[in-house]
């Protein structure tokens, strides 16, 4: 057990709070400026949305990488898969409760949900050791690259692709629906050199503050004898996911259901890819431990369950949103009980 004096523990708490505020504030600046830079480069809305999701995921990915590189695998794994479960509860569940109902196009649910579900299952395979880190990363790369390629193509081009007619039409409609809502949700005003400079500075601040936050949270966990998986999977996961949650609540109130779904699933996909599978290969992480397997499996089940509710109901109403939130709270209770 690591013990600290009263003054020391208060200092750690104050630093952790300050690091959280700075990290999230810099993340918000990074998202706004990066959207403008990407718009100037003429990127399509779906690609721009992925970049914005990656920027908003900066705190989660950095905190996870810091934990993994320091050898604290429980915290590193917990931040990624815990953030994914929290994203589903906050971006979909709470958003549905707040808005009353979020409407989704079924084609969009299938397009984004297919990639999200496969990546969640790959993460479970990596967590259990059924898939070696390199194999898991290879599969995730194929899925993610295919999704990115489809999302980046103009719907009219997809409509002429050499694919079965009905599949081709559904795919083109899904991309068009997703782009229409993302266009209304993102800042598409062309940026300038100043936006690029500010983006770089904001990224540096996000990395520094998030790394500090992970270190302080680890120290607090050791002092209070809180398991690393609980520190990473619940505390850090929720703290670093707040920008995405607030963004989803705003989109839900404006009726941008497909944009909410894309934000949630794109964020989760990027978390798994950049925050867990790539570093797992680098640090040689072969096993996530029993708690890591639990969180990864729970997150995957919650992903599939939320998507089935969204597809069946053509969106999420308050009962379905409550079910997603309860599913996440069940994970928190189980982790706290262990």
Between 177 and 110, whose confidence is greater?
A: 110
| Residue extents of the structural domains in the chain | 6-337
The pLDDT of residue 187: 56
From the number of C-beta atoms within 10 Å of its C-beta (0-12, 13-18, 19+), residue 291 rates as buried
- Average pLDDT on 260-287 reads 85
- Average pLDDT on 112-134 reads 91
Neighbouring residues of 216: CB distance < 8 A, sequence distance ≥ 6: 12, 15, 16, 19
The pLDDT of residue 255: 64
Instruction: Report CA 71 to chain centroid distance, whole Å.
Output: 22
- Average pLDDT on 110-125 reads 91
For residue 254, name the pLDDT band (cuts at 50, 70, 90): low
Mean pLDDT over each residue of the chain, to the nearest integer: 85
For residue range 184-241, what is the model confidence (pLDDT) as tens digits? 666 567 778 888 899 889 989 988 998 999 999 999 988 888 888 899 999 999 888 8
The pLDDT of residue 81: 92
Q: How far apart are alpha carbons 176 and 103 in whole angstroms?
A: 16
Neighbouring residues of 138: CB distance < 8 A, sequence distance ≥ 6: none
Write out the E strands in the chain.
101-103, 315-317
* pLDDT(298) > 90: yes
In the numeric block, which tokens belong to residue 291?
């708690």
For residue range 309-331, what is the model confidence (pLDDT) as tens digits? 999 998 999 999 999 999 999 99
SS3 290: helix
For strands 101-103 and 315-317, give the pairing.
antiparallel
Burial pattern 238-252, b for ≥16 Cβ within 10 A else e, equals bbbbbbbbebbbebb
Q: How far apart are alpha carbons 73 and 232 in whole angstroms?
A: 10
* pLDDT(125) > 90: yes
The pLDDT of residue 143: 92
Closest among 31, 77, 123, 82 to 331, alpha carbons compared: 82
Closest among 275, 248, 264 to 302, alpha carbons compared: 264
What topology is assigned to 6-337 in CATH?
Answer: A middle domain of Talin 1 (1.20.1420)
From the number of C-beta atoms within 10 Å of its C-beta (0-12, 13-18, 19+), residue 295 rates as buried
* pLDDT(1) > 50: no
Burial pattern 70-97, b for ≥16 Cβ within 10 A else e, equals eebbbbbbbbbbbbbbbbbbbbbbbbbb
Highest mean pLDDT pick, 63-77, 153-167, 295-309 = 295-309
From the number of C-beta atoms within 10 Å of its C-beta (0-12, 13-18, 19+), residue 272 rates as buried
Q: How far apart are alpha carbons 60 and 50 in whole angstroms?
A: 15
Phi and psi, residue 18, nearest 5°? -65, -45
Share of the chain above pLDDT 90, in %: 32
For residue 43, name the pLDDT band (cuts at 50, 70, 90): low
- Average pLDDT on 60-67 reads 89
* pLDDT(154) > 90: no
* pLDDT(33) > 60: yes
For residue 338, name the pLDDT band (cuts at 50, 70, 90): confident
| 129-138, 252-261, 317-326, range with the lowest pLDDT | 252-261
The pLDDT of residue 320: 96
For residue 25, name the pLDDT band (cuts at 50, 70, 90): confident
For residues 332 and 230, is the Cβ–Cβ distance under 8 A? no
């Amino acid at each position: 057990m690591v013990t600290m004096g009263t003054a020391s523990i208060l200092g750690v708490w104050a630093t952790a709070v300050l690091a959280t505020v700075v990290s999230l504030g810099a993340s918000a600046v990074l998202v706004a400026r990066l959207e403008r830079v990407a718009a100037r480069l003429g990127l399509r809305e779906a690609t721009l949305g992925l970049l914005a999701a990656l920027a908003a995921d900066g705190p989660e990915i950095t905190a996870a990488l810091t934990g993994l590189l320091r050898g604290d695998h429980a915290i590193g794994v917990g931040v990624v898969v815990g953030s994914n479960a929290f994203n589903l509860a906050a971006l979909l569940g709470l958003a549905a409760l707040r808005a009353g109902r979020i409407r989704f196009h079924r084609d969009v649910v299938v397009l984004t949900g297919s990639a999200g579900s496969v990546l969640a299952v790959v993460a479970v395979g990596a967590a259990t050791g059924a898939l070696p880190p390199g194999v898991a990363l290879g599969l995730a790369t194929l899925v993610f690259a295919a999704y990115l390629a489809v999302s980046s193509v103009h719907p009219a081009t997809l409509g002429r692709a050499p694919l079965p007619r009905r599949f081709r039409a559904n795919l083109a409609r899904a991309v068009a629906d997703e782009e229409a809502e993302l266009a209304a949700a993102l800042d598409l005003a062309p940026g300038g050199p100043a936006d690029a400079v500010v983006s770089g500075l904001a990224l540096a601040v996000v990395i520094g503050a998030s790394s500090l936050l992970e270190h302080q949270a680890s120290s607090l966990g050791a002092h209070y004898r809180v398991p690393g998986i609980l520190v990473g999977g619940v505390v850090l996961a929720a703290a670093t996911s707040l920008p995405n949650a607030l963004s989803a609540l705003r989109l839900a109130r404006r009726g941008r259901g497909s944009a909410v779904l894309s934000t949630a699933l794109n964020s989760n996909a990027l978390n798994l890819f950049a925050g867990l599978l790539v570093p797992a290969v680098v640090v040689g992480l072969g096993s996530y431990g029993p708690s890591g397997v639990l969180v990864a499996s729970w997150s995957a089940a919650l992903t599939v369950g939320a998507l089935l509710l969204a597809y069946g109901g053509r969106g999420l109403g308050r009962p379905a949103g409550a079910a997603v939130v309860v599913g996440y709270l069940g994970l928190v209770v189980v982790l706290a009980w262990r």
